[in-house]
Amino acid sequence: MSDEPSAERLAALEARLRLVEDQLELHRLINTWGLAADTGNAEAAASLFADDGVLESDLSYLVGPDAVRSMITSDGQQALIEQGSAHIPAFPVLEVHGDEASASGYTTVFRHTEAGYEIWRVSANHWTFRRTPEGWRLTKRTNHVIDGGTEALELLAKAFDQRG
Amino acid sequence: MSDEPSAERLAALEARLRLVEDQLELHRLINTWGLAADTGNAEAAASLFADDGVLESDLSYLVGPDAVRSMITSDGQQALIEQGSAHIPAFPVLEVHGDEASASGYTTVFRHTEAGYEIWRVSANHWTFRRTPEGWRLTKRTNHVIDGGTEALELLAKAFDQRG
Amino acid sequence: MSDEPSAERLAALEARLRLVEDQLELHRLINTWGLAADTGNAEAAASLFADDGVLESDLSYLVGPDAVRSMITSDGQQALIEQGSAHIPAFPVLEVHGDEASASGYTTVFRHTEAGYEIWRVSANHWTFRRTPEGWRLTKRTNHVIDGGTEALELLAKAFDQRG
C-alpha cells in the first residue's frame, strides 16, 4: 500500500470505521432493552423493533412494535416493575454483514424480593437486525431460558453457524 | 462526497474515530471501578474521579477523590474484600457530547459466603463524566439498589432523557 | 497538524483504528468462550487458544488446544450442559501492546437446578493474548473463584500492574 493518501485508502478506513460504529450501535440497541423494560418505557422498547420485528420467547410470541408496547404496559410487566427487576445483558458476540447483523449471548433477570434478590431467568438469546433509514432495528429476538433443554442450546449455537 | 482525499473527509473520519475511542475509554473507566473496589486499590479507585467528583448511593455520599480513597480503605470495605466480593458491571448505554458524557446501566455485587455466593446488591446507576487534560473523569456516579422504589427507576430512566 | 491530507495523518488514523478493532476482536474472543463451553462446541473452544495456550484454574491446568477440546467433551462438562449452564463474561478491562494484549475481569457461571438458578462460580480472570497470522489467540487464561483468598485478588490486581 502506498504511503500517499489515496481514495482507496480513505475508503477502506471509512468502511472499517463504519463496521466498528455498527457494532457499538448494535450493542447499544441490545443494552437499551433492559432499561426500557425495567422502567416501563413502552415507547423506547417498541422503537427498538422493525415494523415486522418479532420478540419470541418461552413466555410469548409478539410481532411488531405495537405488540411490544402492549407487553410493556401489561399488568404482568407493571407488577414486575413494582417489585423491582433488572434485565441485565451480558456482552454478546456480534456479526455484521452489510445491512444485516446478528448477535448471540446471555441475559439475566434479577427480581427483588423480601428475602433479597432472586435469579428469575438466565436466558440464551439470538438477535437479528436490519439497517433502516432510521438506524439499526431488531427484526427478531429469540429468547429461551437455559434449562438443559435443546431450545437454549440451539440459540447459543447460532453464533458458530454464522462463521462457516 | 468526492472520491478524492480531502481535508474535510479526513477531519470527519478523525471526529468519528474519536467518538468511538471516547466510548471505549468511558467503558474502561466504569469497568475499572470493580477491580479497584474488590482489590482494595484506593489510589486506582480515587483516580477515576474528578476533583469535584461525587459518589452518591443509598449507602453514602462522597465528594472528591480523598473521600473515595477513605471509603476503599475503610473497615467495612476491607471486611468485604476479606470475605470475597465481585462488583460486576453490566454493559451500559453511553452518551458522549463533546467533553461531557453520561451512562446508564446496572451493576451487581456478589459476596462469597460459607453457603456459596450471595447477591448482595443489584443496582441502577447513572454516571456523568468530564474530559480533562488527563483523560475522562467521573463527575458523578449515582447508584441505588433496585428495590421497587422510584429512586432506581429514575436513574435508569435518565438514559431516555438524554436522547430527547 | 496541517489541514491537508498527509501520509502521516492517514497512518495515525489507521493505527488508532487498528487499536479499536483489536479491542473489539479481543472482547469477541473472551465472549465466545461461554458460548462454546455451554453448547459443548469443543472445536470452537479449542480454536481460541494458541498452540501453547494455557487454561489454568482452581479446577485444572490445561496446555494446548487438544487439552481444551478434551475438557469440553469430558463427562463432567457434558453433565453440566445437560443440567443447563451459562458461563457469563462481564465487560473486562483490556490492554493492547502491539502484538500482545491482556485483560482482567469477572466471569460468573449459573447452573440450572430443580429449585431455580444456582450461582456456581464467581471468578476473577486474567487473560493474555498474542496476535497470530490467523488472528488473536489466547496464550493464557487464569481463572480463580472469588473466595476471599489471595489468588483471585492477585488476578484482578494485574489490571493495575500493566499501567505502571
Q: How far is A50 from chain B (nearest CA, A)?
A: 19
Give, in degrees to the nearest 5, the angle at Cα A55 between B27 and A57.
Answer: 95
In this predicted structure, what is the pLDDT of residue C61? 98
Closest CB to B39 among C92, C94, C156: C156
The number of CA neighbours under 13 Å toward the Cβ of C70 is 9
C3 pLDDT higher than 90: no
CA angle B39, B42, B46 (to 5 degrees): 130
C159 and B32: CB-CB below 8 Å?
yes
A3 pLDDT above the threshold of 90? no
Query: Are the Cβ atoms of A84 and B13 closer than 8 angstroms?
Result: no
3-class SS at C99?
A: coil
- C164 pLDDT higher than 50: no
Does C28 contact chain A (CB < 8 Å)?
Answer: yes
How far is it, in rounded angstroms, from Cα B130 to Cα B136?
6
pLDDT in tens, C65-79: 999 999 999 999 999
Mean pLDDT (whole number) for C148-152: 97
Chain A nearest-CA distance from B160, in A, is 8
Q: Which residue has the higher pLDDT, B145 or A162?
A: B145
User: Chain C neighbours among B 84-143 (CB < 8 Å)?
Assistant: 84-86, 88-91, 110, 112, 116-117, 119
- pLDDT, tens digit, 9 for 90 and up, residues B33-60: 999 999 999 999 999 999 999 999 999 9
Domains and CATH numbers, chain B: 7-161 (3.10.450.50)
Q: Do A3 and C5 touch (CB under 8 A)?
A: no
Other C-beta atoms within 10 Å of C96: how many?
Answer: 20
Check residue A124 and give its pLDDT. 98
Which one of C155, C156, C158, C161 would you mutate to disrupt binding with B, by most B Cβ within 10 Å of its Cβ?
Answer: C156
What residues are paired with C124 via a beta bridge?
C106, C144
H/E segment holding residue B103: strand B100-113
pLDDT, position A164: 37
Alpha helices in chain B (DSSP H): 7-39, 42-46, 65-72, 75-83, 150-161
Query: Looking at residues A130-152, what average pLDDT do you find?
Result: 98
Burial classification of residue A163, based on how many CB atoms lie within 10 Å of its CB (0-12 exposed, 13-18 middle, 19 or more buried): exposed
pLDDT at C163 over 60: no
What integer pLDDT is reported at residue B164 of this predicted model?
Answer: 37
Residue C96 in contact with residue C22, Cβ under 8 Å?
yes
Higher pLDDT, residue B130 or A59: B130
Q: What is the mean pLDDT of chain A?
A: 95
Give the tens place of pLDDT for each residue, A11-52: 999 999 999 999 999 999 999 999 999 999 999 999 999 999
Task: Kindly tell me if the per-residue pLDDT of B1 is higher than 50.
Answer: no
pLDDT at A1: 46
CA distance A125 to A112: 23
Sign of CA dihedral B130, B132, B134, B140: negative
Of A13, A20, A31, the CB nearest to B93: A31
* Residue C2, pLDDT score: 53
| pLDDT at residue B119, rounded to an integer | 98
Position A39 scores a pLDDT of 98
Q: Does B59 touch chain A (CB under 8 A)?
A: no
Considering Cα of C13, then C15, then C21, then C24, what sign does the dihedral take? negative
Between the CA of residue A58 and those of A55, A136, A147, C39, what are the distances in Å? 10, 25, 11, 19
Can you give the pLDDT at residue B120? Answer: 97
pLDDT category at C142 given cuts 50, 70, 90 is very high
Set of cell numbers at residue C84: 443447563
- For the stretch B58-106, pLDDT in tens is 999 999 999 999 999 999 999 999 999 999 999 999 999 999 999 999 9
Which residues of C are less than 8 Å from A156 in CB distance? Answer: 35, 38-39
Tens digit of each residue's pLDDT (9 = 90 or more) over B105-129: 999 999 999 999 999 999 999 999 9
Q: What is the pLDDT of residue A7?
A: 86
A6/C120 Cα distance (integer angstroms): 55
| Nearest residue in chain C measured CA to CA from B109 | C122
In angstroms and rounded to an integer, the radius of gyration of the C-alpha atoms of chain C is 18
